[in-house]
A = this chain, B = another copy of it.
Amino acid sequence: MRDTERSIRVALVGCGYWGPNLARNFHQIPGSDLVACCDLNQQALEKMGRLYPSARVTDDFASICEDETIDAVAIATPARTHYVLAKAALQSGKHVLVEKPLALSTREASELVTLAEEHSRVLMVGHIFQYNPAVRYIKQLIDQGALGQIYYLYSTRVNLGRVQSDINALWSIAPHDISILIYLLGAEPEWVSARGATYLTDGIEDVVFIDLGFPGGILAHVHVSWLDPSKVRRMTIVGSKQMVVYDDVADEGKVKLYEKGVYRKGEPGFGEFQYRVHSGAIMIPKLDLVEPLRVECEHFIACIREGRRPETDGVNGLQVVRILEIAQASLKAGGEPKRIQEVEASCL
């Protein structure tokens, strides 16, 4: 930021579980100011007011939209309100950062993308892991070919708590995994299937298992749940040359790179193949010690300032929502695999 540039003035909408983290970052980042906090919960507002005396607190979202001194709105409200709030903010000419999922349907997400283009505003979705040094490091490994051919990936993202009653574990947790997969593989899946089960709230799956078929025969598997004895955030990427385990809750070694593979011993022709297992060193790289949310917020501010598209822009948000929507259809159909194209055609 040049000294002469004025700060981007940001309002936070939604001061519950996650919102305060956004507030803290927009308050601390050079080049942005936290100027307003909005929530219906008075206690949450009071707390924000104490922490950030220079920010206006209000329970009137319309007043945020009408305030012409506000440049951007960060939305961290329950998922079912994302569409309505983001739409209103974009229509008022604000730049918008929405927590994941961008919306609860492809139609709504598409509309937000279109609105952002019409109003020439930045629309960004908080796919935070795309700003995580571990994920970026793995992306580099894949792009450099260090893993060889990618065979398959699987992810477990479970814990006990943060039970939602409006959206299921698929919509609440899996956006992280799906956005990571798209980012790492640089492609969208060709098909998806999902199976889940409901124990606590009627119609809301507490645990969901998702399979996604990516181009080139790459298989991805995702397990999400808020009913698990342990907090697990682990993704394994199996390549022909090397393998990676990314454990986001590990103390030491969030990323482990295994020099491991299975190779054919001989050529086909005479009898069965036999395989040789190679198992070499394990490397735990040093990762940057940055807060991914800080990187995300700085990127939002930089995109506004420079008129750039965010890496996790509205289209990226739409991609993820579309896959969730099809996964949800598979879930309702008892796990029947669904091609992405078919649904895509029907929804446009």
Which A residues are within 8 Å of any B CB, using their own CB?
Answer: 53, 151-152, 154, 160-161, 163, 165-166, 191, 193, 195-201, 206-207, 209, 211, 217-219, 221, 223, 225-230, 236, 238, 240, 243-245, 249, 251-253, 256, 258-260, 262, 264, 272-275, 277, 279-286, 334-337
Interface of A is mostly: strand
Shortest Cβ gap from A319 to chain B (Å): 22
Please tell me how many copies of the chain the complex holds: 4
Task: Kindly report which residue of chain B lies nearest to residue A165, judged by CB atoms.
Answer: B272
Among B209, B245, B252, B279, which residue has its beta carbon within 8 angstroms of that of A282? B252
- Are A219 and B197 closer than 8 Å at their CB atoms? yes
Complex CA–CA separation, A317 to B161 (angstroms) = 39
Q: Which of B152, B217, B230, B282 contacts A284 (CB 8 A)?
A: B282
Asked if B195 and A262 sit within 8 Å, CB to CB, the answer is: no
* A284 adjacent to B284 (CB under 8 Å): yes
Q: A152 to chain B: which residues have CB within 8 Å?
A: 197, 199, 207, 227
Q: Which of B191, B229, B236, B274 contacts A260 (CB 8 A)?
A: B229
> Chain B residues near A211 (CB, 8 Å)?
195, 209, 335
Which residue of B229, B256, B262 contacts A163 across the interface (Cβ within 8 Å)? B262
Nearest chain-B residue to A27 (Cβ)? B50
Residues of B within 8 A of A201 (CB): 273
A-B contact pairs, 17 of them (CB 8 A): A151-B197, A154-B209, A154-B223, A161-B262, A165-B275, A195-B219, A195-B337, A200-B275, A207-B238, A209-B209, A209-B211, A227-B238, A227-B262, A229-B238, A229-B260, A334-B337, A335-B335
Q: Are A228 and B219 in contact (CB under 8 A)?
A: no
Q: How far does the Cβ of A295 sit from chain B's closest Cβ, in whole Å?
A: 20
Given contacts A197-B152, A219-B196, A281-B284, contact A275 B163 (CB under 8 A): yes
Instruction: Name the one of B160, B200, B259, B273 contacting A286, with C-beta atoms under 8 angstroms.
Output: B259
Determine how close the nearest CB of chain B comes to the CB of A249; give it in whole angstroms. Answer: 7
Q: What 8 A-B pairs have minimum CB-CB distances, sorted nearest first? A: A282-B284, A229-B243, A197-B219, A229-B258, A163-B275, A161-B277, A165-B272, A335-B337
Contacts of A217 in B (CB 8 A): 197-199
Which residue in B199, B229, B252, B277 is a CB contact (below 8 Å) of A230? B252
B166 contacts A272, CB within 8 Å? yes
Contact B228 A238 (CB under 8 A): yes
Q: Which residues of B contact A163 (CB under 8 A)?
A: 262, 275, 277
Which partner residue on chain B sits nearest A192 by CB separation? B335
Additional 12 contacts, C-beta under 8 A, given A165-B274, A225-B238, A280-B286: A151-B227, A160-B260, A160-B277, A161-B277, A191-B334, A198-B217, A221-B223, A229-B258, A251-B251, A252-B282, A281-B286, A334-B337
A285 to B165 alpha-carbon distance, docked (Å): 30
